[in-house]
Amino acid sequence: MFGGDPLLSGQVDLAVVLIVLLKVVLVFAFLLVATMLMIWFERKVVGDLQNRIGPNTAGPFGLFQTFADGVKFFFKEDLLPDRAERRVFILAPLLTVVPAFLLFCIVPFGGDFSNGANGTVEIFGHETFLQLANPPIGILFALAMSSIAVYGVMLAGWSSGSKYPLLGSVRASAQMVSYEAALGLSVCAVVLTTGTLDTHQIVAAQAGDGWGSFIPNWNLLVAGIVPFIVFLLASQAELNRPPFDLVEAEQELVGGYHTEYSSIRFALFFVAEFMNSVTMAAIIVTLFLGGPAGPAPIGPGWLWGVFWFFLKVIAFLFLFVWIRGTVPRVRYDQLMDLGWKVLIPLSLGWLLVLATFHVARDQHWNGLVVVPIAAAIALTFFGLLRFAMATAKANRLEGVVE
Amino acid sequence: MGYLGGFLVSLRQIGRKQRVTTQYPKEKAPKPVRVHGRHVLNRYEDGMEKCIGCELCAGVCPARCIYVRGADNPVDDPVSPGERYGFVYEINYLRCIHCDLCVEACPTEAITESKMFEFSFTSRSDAIYTKAELVVDDEGMPRKLPWEDWRPGEDLHTSAWMRATAPAGDARFEGVVGWSGELGYGLRAPEAAQDVKDAITTPDEFVDEHGHDADPHGPVGHDGLSHDETDPHTQGHGGH
């Protein structure tokens, strides 16, 4: 179950259990603190982007604003609507929060990958990975957890016994299920390139130098830029972040699925949302930017791994906030169009092209022949898709428009 | 730049010091001259109360937040010039919507509004202001209650919009004083004239070269008469 981690391959003694516990506490604390700082960071940066100031009262630079908000949530009255389905209503926030915590387990957040090292660190005489768990199913676990989170959102809206939460959760489940497909297909491209589901090995595969000696061997480049872009867009939709925050759409739905929630239960949704942002950034970094892999010029390599990892994650978190501060919310039909008619065909097509190249490389086919044929087939299918869409639209508008 | 141009637009805002935020509890943004705040009950320059207990304010109040009971002035120690005075005067600020209809209805400019809206009482009895809180003090300044956030100078503006409009809305009387003096202020100057005509609401043929209402058959009531002669307030005030 914990395959690959040298810590658990040998005899399991007390030290091993303690190390695992230490890692659990570390990851748990890191996630909580990171979420707290992420909320602050988001509010501060989006304030900057919009010529506002952002939180600046609680603590230096308003750093403790999230903490203050959290304390306030604890002391608020916890309302349970009369028409709510009690047990489901109480369960739903947990269904959202627990997967958000579990998601981070599989992310390697440190370790020395430079100069061919295998990314292990030594704690108390035991070799181990700087990652909580390294199951062989690896990245599938992330997809599974983010699917479970949909249940939290869906059940929250349904069990509230109120119509706006229900609308919000219907939107949410439709949106998250649609974008899960594009997300999964672009993960497939990465899995195809690296040949493994194991997140540690995905990072290890990206550790070396690529073309030349300075261009990194990241999947961002190796798998082509397309899966990365598809994953980035789909992850924003999966996170229900602007511009895809139709689930919450304050102007239309009073806050969506969590309208009826208050107090700490609402805080759980809120925390889960921002925790997922952090985790999603970490997963993007793992899949496409080599995670903690990077040069280690001086000092211990594992520390450099942690440094590179956080640098990349923060860059992506900034990108998330930047997208939020720039792009207005899309319409619901635009959201579905983007998901089904652009991202899914694109990632599917790219996956097939990648597979073709891999087969061609393995069979030693002539690249000069393979590339034009692949391009021709891809263009043909693109044309067919456009034709199908145009025909469908014409049929739909028949009788509506003169 | 096409689709991605917007990202540069928002990115350029970082570090640009063009924020207009006012750090509210530390500093206050200047208030417009005609802001409606909490009321004051004004007094004449000799200290007499202006309120005559007519209850017009209570009658016109759409929120029914004003309670007035008039009483005959004591002969030896009158509270207001004239026969009657406001014996009880209460405004419930849990109900008041600050529409200023009471101010418009008042025949003696007794009730006007200050610009103070930053008050947060913590009990219902504090929310009901009586004469003790509403009547201006001996300097003519509003009384500052502990739950009200007054800053220096804010108490000077207690009735601006009353002096902003011409009597009966007729622009020909703009700048003509039609109100009585106040304790602490004397006869207040009219607000500066509006020099730009309201192009949207007033058709051009009704506006003269100064931007004033040029309609010869305009609002009735003041034609041919000097405003000072007809206004009851400027004369009536000395008569007690």
Cα separation of B224 and B206, whole Å?
A: 19
Q: Angle formed by the axes of helices A139-159 and A163-194, to 10°?
A: 170
Q: How far is CA A193 from CA A102, A202, A220, A353, A357, in A?
A: 26, 9, 11, 12, 10
Same domain, B69 and B44: yes
Q: Does B4 touch chain A (CB under 8 A)?
A: no
**Residue A130: partners with Cβ closer than 8 Å, 6 or more residues away:** A108, A109, A110, A111, A119, A121, A292, A302, A305, A306
Angle at A174 between CA A170 and CA A176, to 5 degrees: 115
Question: Last residue of some domain: B163, B192, B227?
Answer: B163
Tell me the residue type at A169: S
Among candidates A50, A53, A323 on the partner chain, residue whose Cβ is nearest the Cβ of B13: A50
Domain boundary among B163, B195, B216: B163
How many Å lie between the alpha carbon of B15 and the closest alpha carbon of chain A? 7
Question: A265-309: per-residue pLDDT in tens?
Answer: 888 888 888 999 999 999 999 888 888 877 777 777 778 888 888
A127: helix, strand or coil:
strand
Between residues B163 and A395, which one has the greater pLDDT?
A: A395
- Provide, as residue numbers in chain A, all residues whose Cβ is less than 8 Å from the Cβ of B19: 51-53
Distance of CA B20 to the CA centre of its chain: 28
Q: Inter-chain contact B7–A48, Cβ cutoff 8 Å?
A: no
Residue B231 and residue B240: Cα distance in Å, rounded? 17
For the packed helices A163-194 and A344-363, what is the interaxial angle rounded to 10 degrees? Answer: 10
pLDDT level of residue B160 (50, 70, 90 thresholds): low
One domain, residues B157 and B174: no
- B31 lies in a domain? no
Query: Roughly how many angstroms between the first and final C-alpha of chain A, as a whole number?
Result: 62
Q: Among all residues of chain B, which has the CA nearest to that of A51?
A: B19
d(CA A139, CA B113): 66
B13: nearest CB among A49, A53, A323:
A49
Do both B141 and B218 map to the same domain?
no
Q: Which of B1, B10, B22, B26 to mutate to test binding with chain A, by most A CBs within 10 Å of its CB?
A: B10
Lowest mean pLDDT among A91-105, A350-364, B192-206: B192-206
CA A393, CA A332: separation in Å to the nearest integer?
17
Asked if residue B176 is part of any domain, the answer here is yes
Give chain A's length: 402
Has residue B213 been placed in a domain? Answer: yes
Same domain for B180 and B201, yes or no, is: yes
Question: Which residues, listed in sequence order, are joined to residue B128 by a DSSP beta bridge?
Answer: B92
Banded pLDDT at B191 (limits 50, 70, 90)? low
Could you tell me the pLDDT band of residue B64, with boundaries at 50, 70 and 90? very high
How many interface pairs between A and B have CB atoms less than 8 angstroms apart?
29
Mean pLDDT of chain B: 77
**Beta carbons of A189 and A355 less than 8 angstroms apart:** no
Alpha helices in A327-343 (DSSP H): 332-336
Q: Both B98 and B191 in a single domain? A: no
Rounded to whole angstroms, how far apart are CA atoms A388 and A236?
28
pLDDT tens, residue by residue, A57-81: 888 888 898 889 889 988 988 888 8
The share of chain A scoring above pLDDT 70, in percent, equals 94
Q: Read out DSSP for chain B?
A: -GGGHHHHHHHHTTT--------TTTS-PPPPTT---SEEE-B-TTS-B------HHHHH-TT--EEEEEEEPPSSS-SSSSSEEEEEEEEETTT-----HHHHH-TTS-EEE-S---B--SSHHHHEE-HHHHB--TTSPPP--TTB---TTGGG-SSGGGGTSPGGG-GGGTT---S--BTTTBSPPPPPP--S--TTTS-GGGB-TTSSB--TT-STT-TTS-HHHH-HHHHHGGG-
Helix runs in A239-366, H state only: 250-253, 263-288, 301-326, 332-336, 344-363
DSSP H/E element including A232: helix A225-238
Convert the pLDDT of each residue in A218-230 to its tens digit: 888 888 888 999 9
Quote the pLDDT of residue B97. 93
In this prediction, residues A84-110 reach a mean pLDDT of 88
Helix (H), strand (E) at residue A168: helix A163-194
Longest CA pairwise span in chain B (Å): 84
- Considering the domain architecture, whether residues B111 and B217 belong to the same structural domain is answered as no
Same domain, B153 and B67: yes
How far is it, in rounded angstroms, from Cα A278 to Cα B73? 74
B9 neighbourhood in chain A, CB within 8 Å: 326
Report d(CA A265, CA A59) in Å as an integer: 25
| pLDDT per residue as tens digits for the range B210-220 | 555 555 544 44
Question: Which pLDDT does position B129 carry in this prediction?
Answer: 93
Interface of A with B in 292-331 (CB under 8 A): 322-323, 325-327
In a mutational test of the B interface, the residue from A49, A53, A319 whose CB has the highest number of chain B CBs within 10 Å is A49
pLDDT band at B198 (very low <50, low <70, confident <90, very high): very low
CA within 13 Å, CB half, B28: 13
Domain CATH for B74:
3.30.70.3270
Chain B residues in contact with A326 by the CB 8 A cut-off are 6-7, 9-10
A338 closest CA partner among A233, A227, A239? A233
Residues B95, B204, single domain; the answer is no
Of residues A52, A53, A322, nearest to B7 (C-beta) = A322
Tokens 């008039």 locate to: B70
Q: Which positions in chain B touch A53 (Cβ < 8 Å)?
A: 19, 21
Domain-located, residue B6:
no
| Structure confidence by residue, pLDDT tens digits, A341-368 | 889 988 988 888 888 888 888 888 887 8
pLDDT-above-70 percentage for chain B = 71
CA distance A323 to chain B (A): 7
Q: What is the pLDDT of residue B128?
A: 93
Handedness of CA B221, B224, B228, B230 (dihedral sign): negative
How distant is the Cα of B93 from the closest Cα of chain A, in angstroms?
27
Minimum mean pLDDT range among A244-248, A284-288, B34-38: A244-248
User: What's the pLDDT at B85?
Assistant: 93
Q: What was the ipTM of the complex prediction? A: 0.72
Q: Where are the domains of chain A?
A: 6-348
Co-location of B178 and B134 in the same domain: no
* Reported confidence tier of residue A317, pLDDT bands at 50, 70, 90: very high
Q: Shortest Cα distance from B28 to chain A (angstroms)?
A: 16
Interface of B with A in 20-39 (CB under 8 A): 20-21
Instruction: Kindly state whether residue B1 falls inside one of the protein's structural domains.
Output: no
- The residues in A 15-74 lying below 8 A from B, measured between CB atoms, are 45, 48-53
Chain A CB contacts of B11 below 8 Å: 49, 322
Q: Is B12 at the interface with chain A, CB within 8 A?
A: no
Confidence band, pLDDT 50/70/90 cuts, at residue B204: low
Token pair belonging to A353: 């092209």
User: Is the distance from CB of B91 to CB of B129 less than 8 angstroms?
Assistant: yes
Q: Are residues B83 and B149 in the same domain?
A: yes
pLDDT for res A205: 82
For the segment A39-47, the average pLDDT, to the nearest whole number, is: 90
Are the Cβ atoms of B13 and A51 closer than 8 angstroms?
Answer: yes
Q: Which of B7, B11, B19 sits opposite A51 (nearest CB)?
A: B19
**pLDDT number for residue B223:** 42
* pLDDT tens track for A128-180: 777 888 888 888 988 888 888 888 888 888 898 888 888 888 888 888 888 88
Task: Note the pLDDT of residue B175.
Answer: 64
The per-residue pLDDT for A313 is 92
Chain A hits for B21, CB-CB cut-off 8 Å, are: 52-53
pLDDT score recorded for residue B224: 42
* Contact assignment for B6 to A327 by CB distance below 8 Å: yes
The pair of three-digit structure tokens given for residue B22, joined into one six-digit string = 């006012």
The domain of B186 spans: 170-235
For chain A, give the percent of residues with pLDDT over 90: 11
Mean pLDDT for A2-23 is 76
Q: Do B21 and A50 touch (CB under 8 A)?
A: no
Does B15 touch chain A if contact means CB atoms closer than 8 Å? yes
Q: How many residues does chain B have?
A: 240
Chain B interface mutation, best of A229, A320, A326, A338, highest count of B Cβ atoms under 10 Å: A326
Nearest CA to CA, how far is A329 from chain B (Å)?
Answer: 14
Q: Is residue B54 part of a domain?
A: yes
Q: Which residues from B are below 8 Å from A50, CB to CB?
A: 10, 13
Asked which of B120, B145, B163 is the last residue of a domain, the reply is B163
B75: contact with A, CB 8 A cutoff:
no
> Is B120 in the A-facing interface, judged by CB distances under 8 Å?
no
Nearest Cβ partner for B11 among A51, A53, A322: A322
Is the C-alpha dihedral spanning A341, A347, A348, A352 positive or negative? Answer: positive
Residues of A in contact with B16 (CB under 8 A): 51
| Helix or strand holding residue A394 (H, E) | helix A367-397
Domain total in chain B: 2
Residue A21, pLDDT above cutoff 70 = yes
**Within chain A, what is the greatest distance between any pair of CA atoms?**
78
**In terms of domains, do B66 and B111 share one?**
yes
Q: Which of A322, A323, A240 is nearest to A45 (CA)?
A: A322
Output the pLDDT for position A211.
65
Position B210 scores a pLDDT of: 59
Same domain, B112 and B229: no
Q: For residue B169, what pLDDT band results from cuts at 50, 70 and 90? A: low
